[in-house]
Amino acid sequence: MRADTRHLALPFFDDAHRALGEQLAGWAPAQQVDESDDRRACRQWVRLLGDAGWLRYCVPASAGGAMDKLDSRALVILRETLAFHSPLADFAFAMQGLGSGAITLAGTPAQQAAYLPAVARGDKIAAFALSEPDAGSDAGAMATSADAADGGWALNGCKTWISNGDIADFYVTFAKTDREAGTRGITAFIVDAGNPGLDSSEHIAVMAPHPLATLKFAHCKLPGEAQLGALNGGFKLAMQTLDIFRASVAAAALGMARRALFEAVRFSRERKMFGQTLADFQLTQAKIGEMAALIDAAALLTYRAAWLRDDSEASGAGKRITAEAAMAKMTATENAQRVIDMALQMHGGLGVKVGTKVESLYRDIRSLRIYEGATEVQQLIIGKAVLQS
């Protein structure tokens, strides 16, 4: 089935976005990936996405990308469409962008050349290592440290909930370089998989399976060139990266919600009950109406956040869109959870049967309300911004 593309007519998008959305809507349903093993499937999705050229939207043109700069609206279209068809395909795409985003923003020419073209081809798998067992929402409280050693660095500590953990070729890792300086004492590093000081073997199983692991750094030696961006500038770099990708998490949630509505409409038209179809009942019509409005509200906030960032980049204004991205992420993920729950309820017993699309969506959506800043963190960000304005 082809994803609906009517929203591409909205003025947030230009013709290049419309062409991208139409092409992708034709490509995605034709892909066949056995997702029973999430690690194998994720690698396969990266291969397919790389070969088809879609990963080129994760890096800028100077490094083999499709557009001059990371384009938030293109990312939104890609994630929304991929998530409609396969949340795991969306995950594989998104992690290539999130994992390499800090290199795009702050990498030296040599770092960009070494990693970004390979990410765009799907030859290197990327990961973003920020969270720790005792530092999730409070990212600045991280304990992993990087100390000067042998002309380079030595990392010690632990990162957890790391997407692509143990299948990534490199990890953009954030560590304390000044323990007393809070968020102003964090630096980013590029850690290649295979470094003998890195153990990524502890996998984490979750309700919607995708590659996830804990990383342990034990005197993990890095050359000086592994430092990414300014010394002690890592927290801002992490936040700037999240500013780009949070709006795209909203888009992934939107894709899942649109799929749930699609399934609910299809099912309600087919299901016979009391001499009519489920869709003939006013109760069903009211639910479908509520679902559609929740989806459109999420869509408008998501497209606004993406458009604002692209517009700010194009004009060179460099305006932060943290609050708008937070509004999009919070609203789209929370609304999608409600829409998917309503679609599942409409399916009755079938809704909880393993193998039904709404059943897997119900599990897929849940973590989006938590990762890349939980709903409560988004509320905090928005609240602070309102109070400061």
Q: Which of 203, 371, 375, 382 binds ligand COS (CB under 6 A)?
A: 371
Distance, in Å, from the CA atom of 20 to the CA atom of 14, rounded to the nearest integer, reads 10
Cβ of residue 168: shortest distance to ligand COS, in angstroms?
14
Furthest C-alpha separation in the chain: 79
Distance, in Å, from the CA atom of 3 to the CA atom of 259, rounded to the nearest integer, reads 8
Residue 140 in contact with ligand COS, rule: CB under 6 A: yes
Packed helices 72-85 and 282-315: angle between N→C axes, nearest 10 degrees: 150
Here the tokens at position 93 are 């795409």
Amino acid in the structure at residue 112:
Q
Distance, in Å, from the CA atom of 155 to the CA atom of 149, rounded to the nearest integer, reads 10
Cβ of residue 35: shortest distance to ligand COS, in angstroms?
21
- Secondary structure class of 215 (helix, strand, coil): strand
Residue 184 in contact with ligand COS, rule: CB under 6 A: yes
Residue 333 in contact with ligand COS, rule: CB under 6 A: no
Q: Which of 131, 144, 214, 367 binds ligand COS (CB under 6 A)?
A: 131
Residue 183 in contact with ligand COS, rule: CB under 6 A: yes
Residue 236 in contact with ligand COS, rule: CB under 6 A: yes
DSSP result, 112-144: HHHHHHHHHHTSS-EEEE--BTTBSS-GGG---
Applying CB under 6 A, which part among 130-138, 195-203, 206-214, 251-259 lies near ligand COS? 130-138
Cβ neighbors of 274 (< 8 A, separation 6 or more) are none
Residue 99 in contact with ligand COS, rule: CB under 6 A: no
Residue 101 in contact with ligand COS, rule: CB under 6 A: no
Residue 130 in contact with ligand COS, rule: CB under 6 A: yes
b/e 131-141 (16+ beta carbons within 10 angstroms → b): bbeebbeebbe
372 is annotated as an active-site residue: yes
Between 263 and 372, CB nearer to ligand COS: 372
Which of 278, 253, 288 minimizes the C-alpha distance to 348?
278
Residue 137 in contact with ligand COS, rule: CB under 6 A: yes
Residue 3 in contact with ligand COS, rule: CB under 6 A: no
Cβ of residue 322: shortest distance to ligand COS, in angstroms?
4
Q: Which of 203, 320, 338, 366 binds ligand COS (CB under 6 A)?
A: 320
Q: Which of 21, 60, 185, 373 binds ligand COS (CB under 6 A)?
A: 373
Q: Which of 145, 240, 356, 375 binds ligand COS (CB under 6 A)?
A: 240
Q: Which of 290, 359, 372, 376 is catalytic?
A: 372
Cβ of residue 164: shortest distance to ligand COS, in angstroms?
11
Cβ neighbors of 363 (< 8 A, separation 6 or more) are 207, 208
Helices (H), the chain: 15-27, 38-51, 72-85, 87-106, 109-121, 234-270, 282-315, 322-346, 357-366, 375-388
Active site residues: 372
Q: Which residues of the shown chain bind ligand COS in the complex (CB under 6 A)?
A: 130-131, 137-140, 183-184, 235-236, 239-240, 242-243, 320, 322, 371-373, 377, 380-381
